[in-house]
Amino acid sequence: MEERDKRRVGEQIEPGGRPKAPGRLELLQRFINSHNHDFPPGWDRIGTPEKAAAWLREKGLVAPGDRISEAGVARLRELREALRALALANHGGGRPGPAEADVIRRAAGAARLAVAVDDAGRTALEPAGGGVDGAVATLLGILHEAQLTGHWSRMKGCRQCGYAFYDRSKNRSATWCAMAICGNRTKNRAYYRRRRASA
Ligand SMILES: [Zn+2]
């Protein structure tokens, strides 16, 4: 893949051409994929206060005037990696580590959500605050909804690169973001390991 395309992975491009997660879960998927650890650290879409503000604004997660501090960036990135661990744990009903569960719990403590009701009586979870707190509240609201609908269990972290992909396979058996990228890498590594071991 060329660099120009690599930089679009997670936004315009999905590895393996998979469809994105359904409904609002797509936004949470994009958040987890705002950085791919196979790519240079400088490519992190929320890696600096300016980048984070621009990305969150584009996604409607913060208001146009909201500023993001360095501490805010650190909180968002910590939450992102904890959510990635949660997605990785979706392989075969595993659990995230206690530290990751703790990060999400702490984030939830500051995340205020309100039940909004429209004229038709339809309800929606909406953030009660702004800035990073509001963005975190929205993301955790989506996590909660996806767990209720059962969609969350199909959100998986690639076993090789950690990319969050939506597993639409019937038997929920997908392991890698894309067989052509990470599946083959894993297999090649195992092949060389076996060859070395037998040499
Ligand atoms: Zn991968």
**d(Cα 121, Cα 114) in Å, to the nearest integer?**
15
Burial class (CB in 10 A: 0-12, 13-18, 19+), 84: buried
Ligand 1 center–CA 69 separation, angstroms: 31
pLDDT in tens, 107-132: 999 899 999 999 999 999 999 999 99
Ligand 1 center–CA 142 separation, angstroms: 23
pLDDT in tens, 46-98: 999 999 999 999 999 999 999 999 999 999 999 999 999 999 999 977 789 99
Half-sphere CA count of 101, side-chain side, radius 13 A: 6
Q: Which residues contact 34 (CB under 8 A, 6 or more apart)?
A: 10, 44, 45, 46, 55, 80
C-alpha pair distances (Å), 154 with each of 20, 86, 93, 166, 173: 11, 11, 11, 6, 10
Ligand 1 center–CA 161 separation, angstroms: 4
Q: Cβ(164)–Cβ(33) under 8 Å? A: yes
pTM: 0.92
Ligand 1 center–CA 123 separation, angstroms: 36
Q: Cβ(156)–Cβ(174) under 8 Å? A: yes
pLDDT in tens, 183-193: 877 777 776 67
The pLDDT of 11-39, averaged and rounded, is 94
Ligand 1 center–CA 22 separation, angstroms: 20
